[in-house]
C-alpha cells in the first residue's frame, strides 16, 4: 500500500463551497446544454468536473457534479460564485421541466482526507461515489498518495479527527484541480485552467454557451496559457497577478487558487503564459515581488504553444 508523507487525517466542514440543485424531468438535459461536461450520460455512481461559460468562452463557475437521483443533478461550486451562477443559469431554463435552487443547507459539504477518507471510501476509484449513511461520498484524486473525498449530505463526523480547513485548501491546490472563485470569474477559457485535462470538457457533446471559443482554442492551437503549481514564500490569494523578469511591464499570469503551506508561505495554482516558462523568473504581485518556484503537478500539461492543447 502506498504511503504518503502528508500527515493529514480527518474531516472538515467546507464553508467555501455551496451546492446548486437542478430538479425535474429535464434537469440533466437542461444542464447538458449549459455546461462543458456531458451531463446526460452521467451515471448514478459517477461524478465529474464541469464548467459554466459566458458566450465568450470564459468560465463563470466550475463544479463537481453528480446525480443523486434520475431527476436530480447537484453542482458543488465556490459559495462566492453560487448566487450569480444560479441567477444566470435560471435565465436559460425557459420551458424546460427543471427547477434550480440553492441546496447548500440540505447538502452540507465536508472534506475528508487520510485514513478517515480511506476507511469510508474502501476501493472506490476517483470520481466515483458511494453512500455512507445519508451522505454521498465522492472520491477525489489522491494527493501524494493521500486519499481524499468530498462528502455531501448529513455526515456524522463525531468519530473522526478534525481536519484544519487551511490544510484541506492546501490539498485542493496540490491536487491541481482549480476552482473558479469570485476574483477569477470571467478570466479563463477552460483549457487555461487545465479543465479538459481533468475530464471537465467534452468536445463531442454539442453546443453550450461559449462552445465555439472553447473548441477553437482546442483544435486551432491558439492556447498560449496554462495553469501550473508553484510555491512562494509569501501570502497569496486568487486574482493576484504574476510578472515575468524579462517583461515586467505587463502581467504574465494570474493566481487561480492559493492556500497557506504548513511550513510557511503559500502554494498557488496560477495561469501563466507558456513562453514565461522558458527562461527568467516569475514573481507574485509585482516585477520585484516574491519569487515563484514551480513544482510538479500530478498530471502532465502540454507546454508547446504551437500544438493543440
Per-residue confidence in pLDDT tens, the chain, 309 aa: 334 467 899 999 999 999 999 999 999 999 999 999 999 999 988 999 999 999 999 999 999 999 999 999 999 999 999 999 999 999 999 999 999 999 999 999 999 999 999 999 999 999 999 988 889 999 999 999 999 999 999 999 999 999 999 999 999 999 999 999 999 999 999 999 999 999 999 999 989 999 999 998 888 766 899 999 999 999 999 999 999 999 999 999 999 999 999 999 999 999 999 999 999 999 999 999 999 999 999 999 988 643 433
CA 85 to chain centre: 15
How would DSSP label each residue in 123-144?
TPPTTBEEEETTEEEEEEEEET
Residues 78/17, Cβ–Cβ less than 8 Å: yes
46: number of CA atoms within 13 Å, CB side?
12
Using DSSP's 3-state secondary structure scheme, residue 170 falls into helix
Select from 77, 259, 264, 104 the least CA-distant residue to 168. 259
Looking at CATH, the fold of the domain delimited by 17-102 is given as Alpha-Beta Plaits (3.30.70)
Q: Residue 308 has what pLDDT?
A: 37
Please write the tens of the pLDDT for every residue from 215-250. Answer: 988 887 668 999 999 999 999 999 999 999 999 999
Looking at CATH, the fold of the domain delimited by 191-295 is given as Elongation Factor Tu (Ef-tu); domain 3 (2.40.30)
Question: What residue spans define the domains of the chain?
Answer: 17-102, 108-165, 191-295
**17-102 and 191-295 have identical folds:** no
Q: CA 159, CA 63: separation in Å to the nearest integer?
A: 29
Q: Residue 220 has what pLDDT?
A: 78
Amino acid at each position: 500500500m502506498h504511503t504518503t508523507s502528508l500527515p493529514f487525517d480527518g474531516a472538515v466542514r467546507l464553508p467555501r463551497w455551496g451546492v446548486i440543485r437542478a430538479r425535474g424531468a429535464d434537469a440533466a438535459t437542461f444542464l447538458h446544454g449549459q455546461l462543458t461536461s456531458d451531463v446526460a450520460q452521467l451515471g448514478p455512481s459517477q461524478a465529474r468536473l464541469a464548467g459554466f461559460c459566458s458566450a465568450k468562452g470564459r468560465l463563470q463557475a466550475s463544479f463537481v457534479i453528480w446525480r443523486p437521483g434520475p431527476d436530480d443533478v447537484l453542482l458543488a461550486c465556490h459559495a462566492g460564485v453560487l448566487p450569480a451562477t444560479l441567477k444566470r443559469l435560471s435565465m436559460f431554463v425557459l420551458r424546460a421541466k427543471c427547477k434550480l435552487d440553492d441546496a447548500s443547507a440540505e447538502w452540507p459539504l465536508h472534506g475528508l482526507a487520510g485514513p478517515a477518507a480511506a476507511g469510508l471510501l474502501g476501493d472506490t476509484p476517483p470520481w466515483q461515489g458511494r453512500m455512507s449513511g445519508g451522505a454521498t461520498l465522492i472520491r477525489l484524486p489522491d494527493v501524494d498518495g493521500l486519499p481524499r473525498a468530498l462528502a455531501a449530505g448529513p455526515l456524522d463526523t463525531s468519530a473522526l479527527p478534525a481536519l484544519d480547513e487551511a490544510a484541506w485548501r492546501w490539498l485542493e491546490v496540490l491536487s491541481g484541480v482549480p476552482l473558479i472563485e469570485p476574483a477569477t470569474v470571467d478570466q479563463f477559457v477552460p483549457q487555461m485552467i487545465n479543465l479538459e485535462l481533468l475530464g471537465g470538457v467534452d468536445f463531442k457533446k454539442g453546443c453550450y454557451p461559449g462552445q465555439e471559443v472553447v473548441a477553437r482554442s482546442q483544435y486551432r492551437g491558439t492556447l498560449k496559457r496554462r495553469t501550473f503549481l508553484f510555491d512562494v514564500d509569501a501570502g497569496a490569494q486568487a486574482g493576484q497577478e504574476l510578472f515575468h523578469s524579462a517583461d515586467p511591464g505587463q502581467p504574465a499570469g494570474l493566481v487561480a487558487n492559493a492556500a497557506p503551506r504548513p511550513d510557511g508561505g503559500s502554494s498557488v495554482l496560477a495561469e501563466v503564459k507558456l513562453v514565461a516558462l522558458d527562461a527568467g523568473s516569475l514573481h507574485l504581485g509585482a516585477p520585484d515581488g516574491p519569487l515563484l518556484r514551480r513544482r510538479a503537478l500530478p498530471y502532465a500539461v502540454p507546454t508547446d504553444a504551437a500544438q493543440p492543447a
